[in-house]
Structure 1
Amino acid sequence: MKIIVILSALTAVTLVSAGKFHLSTTGQGQSDTLPNAYIIEYHDNVSRSNAHANLKKHAIDYKVRNEYGIFNGAAISVKSSHGGAALAAVPGVKNVWPIHLYSHPNIKPAKYNGTSTESMNVHHMTGVDAVHKKLKLTGKGVKVGIIDTGIDYKHPAFAAPGATEGCFARYGKNCRVKHGWDFVGDAYTSLNTPVPDADPMDCNGHGTHVAGIVGGNEMNIKTSPKPIIPWIGVAPEVTFGAYRIFGCEGRTGTDIILAAMEMAFNDGMDIINMSLYGSPAFKNNPMAILGEKLIAHGMNIAGCAGNDGAQGVSMIADTALGDSATSVASFDNAYGSHFTVSYAGGKYPYNPSVAWGNSRLIDLPATAMLFPLFDKAGVLQDGCDVAAYTGLDVKGKVVLLSGDLTRCGSVGRGNIAKGLGVAGILAVSTPFGMTLLSGVADLTMASLEARGGEAIIAAYKKNSKNVLGWSKTVSTVIVEGGGAPADMSSYGVDGDLRSKPDIGGPGGNIYSAYPRAKGSYALLSGTSMATPYYAGAQALYYQLTKTKLSGIDVRRVFKNTATISKNWGSKTYASVAKQGAGLINVWNALTTSALVSPDHIDLLDSVNLRKIQQITIKNVGRKTETYTLSHSPADALNSYTKGNVFPHPRPVIEADYALVSFSANKVKIPAGKSVKITVTFAEPKAGNAAQFPLYSGFVVATPATEGSPSVHVPYIGLKGDVSKMPIMDTDLGFPSLAVTQANGTVINVPTSNFVFNFKTAAPTIIVRYGSHSPDGTIRVIDAATKKFLGYVFTAWWGAAFGPTGRNANLDANGKYDARQYAWRGEVWAAVNATAPVQLGPGSYNIVVANQKKLTKGAYPADYEVFDLGTVEVSV
């Protein structure tokens, strides 16, 4: 068992200067933080007793929520009027953060009608099937901690060999879940008091599914519940730790996550999996700081990249932003099991609508003929307009429609067709894949892949009398869009232009265990599923090497040997900002004869370009090997092609490729030796620097021995001056002023000479960040004297300064995402102030100023400044 005690062993020392209050690293507001609750980190030479004594000396009344040893700090609830800045002013305190709330990423029901054969076939994508068969590795002897919603440890997927169900017992015989703790209780939602106990049973489902991917095993279980076809996880004999940090519903706090991380470490976990969702941010958050300490002491941490792929670049989640932690992107499963429809000799998988039933086959008679709904030009229509059917006899037929959902959904077009008496609808998905259609009751409705639809249309035009046939059983197929980076997986980079995510794993359409009370098995999608796949792969590596390397060393092996991948239908490699080093290739990682470091290269922007880099290739094989150096460019991502100031939700792909040269194009390395190579980068000649394209690619070392895997290092850079990248969304008129009324309603400012009132008509500043800022501020200036009075302070957001992540494009309700500061006259007079100051009636200038990235922070030269003008306040 690894136990590191730091605080209790420290002696009293001279206290150092006051610390820093990080009001928000993610731009989260009060709804995403616990009121009056903080994480405190002490300076390294400050003991726990010393720190508490000083808090009391400063008359701070508080209650301890959690004490930490490795992190060297505590979580507290403050009962006095002191805020975070007041805590930071206490001698011995290094950092203070509000307790932020986290969820697990919204898991997505699989798009395809699948069975458990999908879980088996997913191992073909990564070489895990070969590792199981040829190397006989199972993860035995390796401990993996699941920090999540718990585990249904009685599920047969977690049973020991020969047992009929799983169990949980720290010292019990043959219990695969040997460690764990429930930090919160069933009823915990983040807004109530945790009620911890020793039983980490999962009542949500997320944690059980995650654990099943790491190391579930149904191959030898004959009793119910069982899947249709046996399946197996990546490392089916790992030992689990189940650290439950969520109730049956709701979110959890940073304080609980930190406690779970420390317990997992002290329980001897070799790897911890954190499929948790946080906002895009900088790396100065408590989880990253503790994570780096744990990794330095031999643990490995895997965190998910997030499911915000539809929001554009720089939306990577903050869970694994530490330099040594691993942020995992998601790839769609290449395989699926589906019922099929045959036509003119071809067989095509289909996905039934939700209303029809996800596992219900379609069985229409041969008399239900195909009827493509063409317009006069022969183009397939979407069926959204009843007029498109004018004069057409579709009764009893299967109508083929365009599956484009931009004009109307499946319900609208389904009701139109149903009213005309059709036998069914087949919708051809765009641009590819199979869409999950809602459908309407009692109407046969399903989606087809784009390629299937095209083939059916071509056959129909040759012979319209071909008959549709419907299979009675499922078939395993390679699905359209599978094996490529998932659309929903978040893009990097982070706020410092660092390369995140690190690597990709299978996460789209993954079959795994689920709580017995919820059906026992589920097919789900998300980076939550990709992350445990990576964690399980690391367990196989630990078992093979019989070593417990630090997280960054193991990460390097898997990044070096990943499969560099393309987006579906593309001839070029996907951006490093999307796939990291590529799709994990476990066979290559476990059989490679070379390693290369570092495992990534961050070139930054044109102004700060790190054009000269050095890599080290080490021959870990048994014989001398010759390696050839080469460069594989990847897609450049342009988010500002139209002069827009808010990034495109879907970046435009460009062929902006860097020029790369090597000090030696070929090197001969004896076994056990290393060689250093200087790599020189030149920015892409193509690409408009004013549009800030993110370019990337891979430096590759290929061994001469046939069959030996090559190794590579991903790099990423930004063409242009990132300090000129727009931060605020001025295209939509932000920042702007509005009025918050006494009842909380926000309205436009009625007139140009409107007089605000702090109580009934509060001036409200609305901001929308299209990019991270190291210091996002809202400043209040005395209109007459031009004196700086302080930063806007609100009960909702706190003081308006500090690092902030970018906004999403749209919020959960489909509206433009923005932040509203309803200012009622309180200001934070300085960054190191300890409490807000209330201003009275007067004339004030409101200035929104955001520090530009990679600048020193000199005000106003290094800030994007917006003066919202003078506001008159009566009270």
Structure 2
Amino acid sequence: MALVAIILPTNSDATLIPDAYIVEYSDKQQGDSILSSLDGLTHPYHIRQTYASPVFNGLSLHLSAASRNSTSNNNGSITEAIDNIHPILAYLYAHPGVRRVYPVRNVPRPQWVDRKDINETSSLPYDNKLTQLKGMYDQMNLTGAGVTVGIIDSGVDYDHPAFGGFGPAHKIKFGHNFVDPANDDEHAGSHRLENDPYDLCPGNDGGHGTHVTGIVSGVDMSKNFSGIAPNVTIGAYRIFGCTGGAAEDVVIKAMEMAYEAGTTWLGSVRMIGVPFNMLRSFIGCDIINLSLSVESAWPENPMAVVADRLAQKGAIVVTVAGNQGGQGVFMQTSPGSGTRALTVGSMENTFRYDKVLHASVFPNQSYPYALSTSTENMPDGKMLGIVFDEEKHVVDGCSNSTLEQASAHDKILLLRRGSCSYDDKLEIAKQFGAAGVLFFDEEASKDNHEEPLLTKTSSGTIPSAGIANNDATKLIKHYRSNTMTDIILSFPSKPEKIPVNGPLRISDFSSTGPTYELGLKPTITGIGSDVFSTLPRHNNGGWGILSGTSMASPQVAGMAALMLEWYRRKGITKLDPVFLAELMQNHAMHIPYDGTPEHPLRQGGGFIQPMDALQSTVHVSPGYLSFNDTANMQNVHQLRITNGGNSKITLDLNNRVSQAILPFNGSTGYTPSEPSARDNTSVSLVFTPPRVEVQPGASINVQVTIHLPRNESTPWRYQMYGGFIEMSHKGSNKVDASVPYFGVLGSVQDLPLFDAGYPYLTSSSDTSYNSSDPFIFNVTAQEEVPKIVYRLLTATARADITVLDERNTMVGAIDGGPYTYLDRNNLQDDDKHSSIEWNGRIVDPHDTSNNNTESILIQPGTYRLHMRALRLLGDPQNVSSWQEWISSPIMVVN
């Protein structure tokens, strides 16, 4: 019997769409029967989408309005509820031909992390030597010709010079427009037909799909601009309009449509006599890019499920890891949480465009700065003022006694980060007549000492900005040595191109894995920071620089197109996406972190190196190893090494460890650290054999055995250890292939689910109740209804809420449950906690699967709400795998 998937979003933009559901059939024949039965029901509904493909059979529908429990996060947005179960929904739950029912989420409109309005650049979007694109173009003559890439996004300005039009004679040959014409009429003044994916939205806050499409394939040599795969064919699917998000069922329909593009249908038979697998060699999008997401690290999310199945059928699905890098572990997103989805994290570019200041004493140097949150621009042509304390340190400006009128008046003060707030510093500086303030952090970590300090300030104060510690140090040193020379500061309005010095690094915004089922994500890394590409022509002249994993994903999609073209030249028309992901991970460049390789949960296999991947003769499968946690650990794995060359190879295996990720701060219990910290915890790996000889065309298995550090010497605090298994030619330091690995020291099932003080009972108007205060609930008037407020430290695959009478006997379950695949809460203001209201109705106490046809109003009496949640990786049949909470009394009256 089917079990409804109730998924509570943990992002205010990812709310559920009331009364909308995705229904998956067990097979197409069952679907025909179900549709016929629905036609015989008298209850109103309408079908939103239909699905009929080897990937997904089913439909999405919208039911007539029904009263619903309301489930919300603390900003008040409705996220899930069902009251009296709609007869059609009850019918679907009980039907043996229904495989699964999903509520429909709203997918938030994709956003970039940073934008710079620069429409002139003298360099390509990337360093083509670092990306290996120069070799792919010049030596291998690869351009993506013959490969089709589907882009599911906000549409595209296809009349941009970088694309040249739309239709069979152009690069962008086909597509679809899913946006409601009424929405476009309201916000854009007109609309396009269903087969026209043109982005017609006005203003400068859109253009996401045009930017993504340019990264994949745009070409405009007047700007010295070329996308990754300039000769691919593009299919554009416009799912985002000018405002708001897009429904999950629409995203899934676009995925199906991209996969099926060009398929000829004859009734219910597709090109009679031609096997489906043969069709896949010449129809449909070979690669589907989705630079979009909802925050869910569960592989069971419907978009993740469809992405995984598409990959099983041969489509290469490339998508984003997410932009929640500051929010700790388990912050991967869907559809990227799909097992076989090629999920892309972001690394920094080798250059960036920043606002810069110039100092008169250093005429040929530029210093990046970051305006404070309340500052629009800095005053130009002012003198720099620096004040030192008795210990010769630059003052922090937290005390009147540390400043002097002569050193501050009409100057831009340089102040170090200190014990008081930035607003306090600015108020004191203002009292001394300062024209502005530059802040720096002398305790910045080695990873941030070249980054401008980010500062949050209130409006109504003097202008301020942050600069890098390194740059502040240069100015201070010159000031000390040349006290008679004034330093005049200028702030040009146009950003400048700044080389990024030092080692490459993962972008701070790039989300950290793993999935909740301890799968490695991201898969691979691309450049997502400061990427120059196309925008709609009315938007900043048609060009701009954006940052986000949305920009890294199309880079990898374009590189996948070049790799696929290369294999097709060799006669391999269909490439297994899992093999391709392994190839990318085997031969990626490891991005460093503090002298070690960055953790695989931050970079996946590393930065994609497509030329190395194609030219190497070594292939290793699987592409990564997860040792799970200690309770579920598989301490022995097998790696299969294949020699695709013409001569024997001898490889030595080595364990290259990364710094471990610390998910929790010991001083704050099990609240996930945001962002996560690091330590030097590592594991030992034993390879059997440690050296292998592989004959041409042959494969050999290597056994990998893990040895954990002793808990006594290295206390297990859920450190997420990791690193790379490197394979090098005998006697050489050159790495021929590598495999990332990770695991967790500790049993994640022992992690608490509920934060201290949660759950608690309140009312719909947020009146608090302690354990002895009864909640008086007039179930007829419904003026104040009980509300459970909860905060999840750890995700749960299932939560149930039942009703207990005075003898602690369960009398029913509240409608709407069980709630499945809940993500953890975080420290962001809109996601610190979530809540569920109860309207006084219950369903059969022996069946919490929502297969009941109706609920009943509870009788007057005294009751308590009982919430239990399944611990991560827990066994639902084991009582100890659940964490429980019982509310204070609720006195139900009529």
Same fold (TM > 0.5): yes
| Aligned partner of residue 335 in structure 2, secondary structure | helix
Q: 2:474 aligns with which of 446, 455, 469?
A: 455
Q: Deviations over 1:441-464 (max 9, x none)?
A: 998865432222223323333333
What residue number does 2:225 align with? 231
What residue number does 1:807 align with? 825
Maintained 8 Å contact 2:111/2:208: no
Maintained 8 Å contact 1:110/1:525: yes
Q: Deviations over 1:438-488 (max 9, x none)?
A: 898998865432222223323333333455476989764432687311111
Spell out the pairing of 1:323-472 with structure 2 (5 A cutoff): 323-337=339-353, 339=356, 341-342=358-359, 343=361, 347-351=365-369, 353=371, 364=381, 368-383=382-397, 388-402=402-416, 407-408=421-422, 417=429, 420-422=432-434, 425-428=437-440, 430=444, 431-432=448-449, 433-435=451-453, 446-466=465-485, 468=487
Q: 2:25 aligns with which of 33, 42, 61?
A: 42
What residue number does 1:126 align with? 131
- The answer to whether 1:755 aligns with 2:767 is no
> What's the offset of the Cα at 1:274?
0.7
What residue number does 2:331 align with? 315
Maintained 8 Å contact 1:576/1:716: yes
Q: 1:856 to 1:86 in 2, by over 3 A?
A: farther
| Aligned partner of residue 584 in structure 1, secondary structure | coil
**Take 1:115 and 1:450, find their aligned partners in 2: how far apart are those partners?**
30
| Aligned partner of residue 650 in structure 1, secondary structure | strand
| Aligned partner of residue 491 in structure 1, secondary structure | coil
- The answer to whether 1:605 aligns with 2:625 is no
Maintained 8 Å contact 1:112/1:351: no
What residue number does 1:14 align with? none
Maintained 8 Å contact 1:637/1:652: yes
- The answer to whether 1:674 aligns with 2:695 is no
Maintained 8 Å contact 2:13/2:106: no
Q: 1:135 to 1:374 in 2, by over 3 A?
A: farther
TM-score normalised according to structure 2 size: 0.84
Q: 1:147 aligns with which of 145, 152, 162?
A: 152
Q: 1:593 to 1:859 in 2, by over 3 A?
A: closer
Q: 1:197 aligns with which of 191, 194, 207?
A: 194
**Take 2:582 and 2:302, find their aligned partners in 1: how far apart are those partners?**
24
What residue number does 1:505 align with? 526
Spell out the pairing of 1:553-592 with structure 2 (5 A cutoff): 553-567=579-593, 570-592=594-616
Maintained 8 Å contact 2:379/2:435: no
- After TM superposition, the structure 1 stretch with the greater mean CA deviation from structure 2, 99-108 or 826-835, is 826-835
Maintained 8 Å contact 2:110/2:208: no
**Take 1:104 and 1:328, find their aligned partners in 2: how far apart are those partners?**
19
Q: 1:674 to 1:388 in 2, by over 3 A?
A: same
> What's the offset of the Cα at 1:404?
7.6
**Take 1:405 and 1:155, find their aligned partners in 2: how far apart are those partners?**
51
Q: 1:363 to 1:135 in 2, by over 3 A?
A: farther
What residue number does 1:9 align with? none
What residue number does 1:292 align with? 308
Maintained 8 Å contact 2:531/2:547: yes
**Take 2:123 and 2:800, find their aligned partners in 1: how far apart are those partners?**
49
Q: Deviations over 1:495-542 (max 9, x none)?
A: 111111111111122221111122112211111111111111101111
> What's the offset of the Cα at 1:823?
1.4
**Take 2:307 and 2:375, find their aligned partners in 1: how far apart are those partners?**
44
> What's the offset of the Cα at 1:630?
0.6
What residue number does 2:73 align with? none
What residue number does 1:69 align with? 52
> What's the offset of the Cα at 1:748?
1.6
**Take 1:233 and 1:436, find their aligned partners in 2: how far apart are those partners?**
32
Q: 1:853 to 1:352 in 2, by over 3 A?
A: closer
Maintained 8 Å contact 1:848/1:866: yes
- After TM superposition, the structure 1 stretch with the greater mean CA deviation from structure 2, 579-588 or 649-658, is 579-588
- After TM superposition, the structure 1 stretch with the greater mean CA deviation from structure 2, 472-481 or 287-296, is 472-481
Spell out the pairing of 1:630-641 with structure 2 (5 A cutoff): 630-640=654-664, 641=666
What residue number does 2:736 align with? 710
User: Over aligned residue pairs, what C-alpha RMSD do you find?
Assistant: 3.3
> What's the offset of the Cα at 1:416?
6.0
**Take 1:356 and 1:218, find their aligned partners in 2: how far apart are those partners?**
37
**Take 1:349 and 1:200, find their aligned partners in 2: how far apart are those partners?**
42
What residue number does 1:206 align with? 208
- The answer to whether 1:257 aligns with 2:251 is yes
| Counterpart residue type for residue 103 of structure 1 | P
Q: 1:840 to 1:57 in 2, by over 3 A?
A: same
**Take 1:141 and 1:383, find their aligned partners in 2: how far apart are those partners?**
63
What residue number does 2:78 align with? none
Q: 2:561 aligns with which of 528, 533, 539?
A: 539
Maintained 8 Å contact 1:119/1:512: no
TM-score normalised according to structure 1 size: 0.86
Q: 1:56 to 1:651 in 2, by over 3 A?
A: same
**Take 1:395 and 1:642, find their aligned partners in 2: how far apart are those partners?**
44
**Take 2:412 and 2:426, find their aligned partners in 1: how far apart are those partners?**
12
> What's the offset of the Cα at 1:677?
0.5
| Aligned partner of residue 50 in structure 1, secondary structure | helix
| Counterpart residue type for residue 810 of structure 1 | Q
- The answer to whether 1:593 aligns with 2:617 is yes
Q: 1:251 to 1:233 in 2, by over 3 A?
A: same
> What's the offset of the Cα at 1:39?
0.5
**Take 2:60 and 2:367, find their aligned partners in 1: how far apart are those partners?**
53
Q: 1:835 to 1:633 in 2, by over 3 A?
A: farther
Q: 1:283 aligns with which of 267, 279, 299?
A: 299
What residue number does 2:166 align with? 168
Spell out the pairing of 1:479-494 with structure 2 (5 A cutoff): 479=500, 483-494=504-515
| Counterpart residue type for residue 133 of structure 2 | V
| Counterpart residue type for residue 802 of structure 1 | T
**Take 2:308 and 2:400, find their aligned partners in 1: how far apart are those partners?**
60
> What's the offset of the Cα at 1:381?
4.3
**Take 1:451 and 1:861, find their aligned partners in 2: how far apart are those partners?**
53
Maintained 8 Å contact 2:117/2:544: no
Q: Deviations over 1:199-254 (max 9, x none)?
A: 211223111111111122222x3xxxxxxx53322222222111011111101111
**Take 2:97 and 2:427, find their aligned partners in 1: how far apart are those partners?**
67
What residue number does 2:172 align with? 177
What residue number does 1:303 align with? 319
| Counterpart residue type for residue 250 of structure 1 | G
Maintained 8 Å contact 2:426/2:461: no
| Aligned partner of residue 746 in structure 1, secondary structure | coil
**Take 1:673 and 1:200, find their aligned partners in 2: how far apart are those partners?**
48
| Aligned partner of residue 648 in structure 1, secondary structure | strand
What residue number does 1:5 align with? none
Maintained 8 Å contact 1:663/1:678: yes
**Take 2:855 and 2:739, find their aligned partners in 1: how far apart are those partners?**
49
> What's the offset of the Cα at 1:340?
5.7
Q: Could you list the runs of 5+ residues in structure 2 that have no partner in the other structure?
A: 66-85, 262-283
| Aligned partner of residue 766 in structure 1, secondary structure | strand
Maintained 8 Å contact 1:769/1:818: yes
Maintained 8 Å contact 2:38/2:88: no
| Aligned partner of residue 39 in structure 1, secondary structure | strand
- The answer to whether 1:53 aligns with 2:36 is yes
Q: Percent identity of the aligned residues?
A: 28
What residue number does 2:832 align with? 817
